Chain A
Amino acid sequence: MNGGHGRDPAAIGPRAWFDEDAGPLVRPYAMTGGRTRGSEHELNIITLVLTVAVPSDVALEWERDEILRLCRTPKSVAEVAAALDLPLTVVKVLLSDLIDRGYIVSRSPVLARHLQNASFLQVVLDGIEQL
């Protein structure tokens, strides 16, 4: 991971094309077949994803394989991205694909209108108090 540094477009000069940081940027999008958007799945940074099936008859690329292995317990999209060291946008496309193929299921974050629900808030408070 480059730690988020060195890709400031304002700082990129004429040599940008030869910057080694260009590599990882190109490959992820090649990995997603050039797509920057998944299908219809609304994947948020904290949407939880869980592996529900692993293909026995199809060989998956390393990244997809790794996602299925990682998500045997629920993980957020952000955790998957961090573990694979890939940008969130790329991981969302990979996950959407795995959802389409039935290997992964997702669950959206708590809806905004429920965030003000006192009993929900109490559950969170109790959990924090017990840490």
Chain B
Amino acid sequence: MALNSSDAVAGPGVGQQSTKILIAGGFGVGKTTLVETISEITPLRTEEVLTAIGADVDDLTGVERKGSTTVALDFGRITVSSDVIVYLFGTPGQDRFWFMWDELANGALGAVVLADTRRLDACFPAVDFFERRGIPFVLAVNCFDGAERYDPEEIRGAADLDPLVPVILCDVRQRESCKTVLINLLKYLIRLSTATELARNGQPVGA
């Protein structure tokens, strides 16, 4: 059993690399359905048992500060190339699990905040969270049957979003619609990356 172990960088190792996109939003807004619709595997559920709360957590509203708790995460996978696997994580909808978000958000490519126009305010905590941490996100409005259709710009106004943040109407049960949401997120990330690059090179952004 003479082996080259723990060689995480080169040599006989894992050829692929992973990254993650978070799917956030209020409880029951369709996060798991979105993951289910687009994932190449049947969505999985894993549990993290948390026994301590990090020191730099500032969203402790409603969180019991003692003992341990179990957080369930639903996730799916998309292999986007022979080198890259993207994991989609549905963030826990319950406010008391918010302290889990920091670990989840760390190293995320970006996020999709799912909203439901019948209770738009349910997505505000997620919007606040990503804005404060500087994690790029798109707002995807899941158009439930019977839900009144809104103009994306109206929703942007109601949610008080930055004018650059894409707002997309979607139906999370439709694969093409979920693809469109993710495509919008990636295009947005590319725009941000280009803007950052230009700013770094001292060229006017948006010129």
State how many residues of chain B have any CB contact under 8 Å with chain A: 66
Least Cβ–Cβ distance between B74 and chain A, in angstroms: 9
Residues of B within 8 A of A64 (CB): none
Interface residue? B3 (CB, 8 A): yes
Taking a contact as CB atoms under 8 Å apart, the answer to whether B84 and A124 are in contact is: yes
Taking a contact as CB atoms under 8 Å apart, the answer to whether A123 and B84 are in contact is: yes
Q: Contacts A124-B186, A125-B183; is A82 near B17 (CB within 8 Å)?
A: no
Interface residue? B61 (CB, 8 A): no
Least Cβ–Cβ distance between B78 and chain A, in angstroms: 7
Taking a contact as CB atoms under 8 Å apart, the answer to whether A100 and B5 are in contact is: yes
Interface residue? A69 (CB, 8 A): no
Q: Roughly how many angstroms separate A4 CA and B108 CA in the complex, as a whole number?
A: 23
Partner of A107, one of B8, B72, B108: B8
Q: Roughly how many angstroms separate A125 CA and B130 CA in the complex, as a whole number?
A: 21
Q: Per-position contact with B for A78-105: 1 when CB-CB < 8 Å, else 0?
A: 1101110001110000000001111111
Taking a contact as CB atoms under 8 Å apart, the answer to whether A99 and B5 are in contact is: yes
State how many residues of chain A have any CB contact under 8 Å with chain B: 63
Q: Give the interface SS of chain B, mostly helix, strand, loop or mixed.
A: mixed
Q: Roughly how many angstroms separate A111 CA and B5 CA in the complex, as a whole number?
A: 21
Residues of A within 8 A of B190 (CB): 118, 121-122, 125
Interface residue? B55 (CB, 8 A): no
Interface segment out of the listed B39-47, B142-150, B164-172 = B39-47
Least Cβ–Cβ distance between B166 and chain A, in angstroms: 14
Chosen A-B contacts, 21 in total, with CB atoms closer than 8 Å, are: A3-B45, A4-B47, A4-B72, A7-B49, A7-B69, A7-B70, A8-B69, A9-B64, A50-B14, A74-B14, A74-B15, A88-B47, A106-B8, A107-B13, A110-B18, A121-B109, A121-B186, A124-B109, A127-B78, A128-B80, A129-B183
Q: A41-B6, A46-B87 are in contact. List 8 more A-B contacts (CB 8 A).
A: A7-B49, A7-B70, A52-B5, A76-B77, A105-B14, A110-B17, A117-B193, A128-B186
What is B's interface to A at a CB cutoff of 8 Å?
A: 1-9, 12-20, 38, 41, 44-49, 51, 64, 66-73, 75, 77-81, 83-87, 103-104, 106-109, 175, 179, 182-183, 186-187, 189-190, 192-194, 196-197
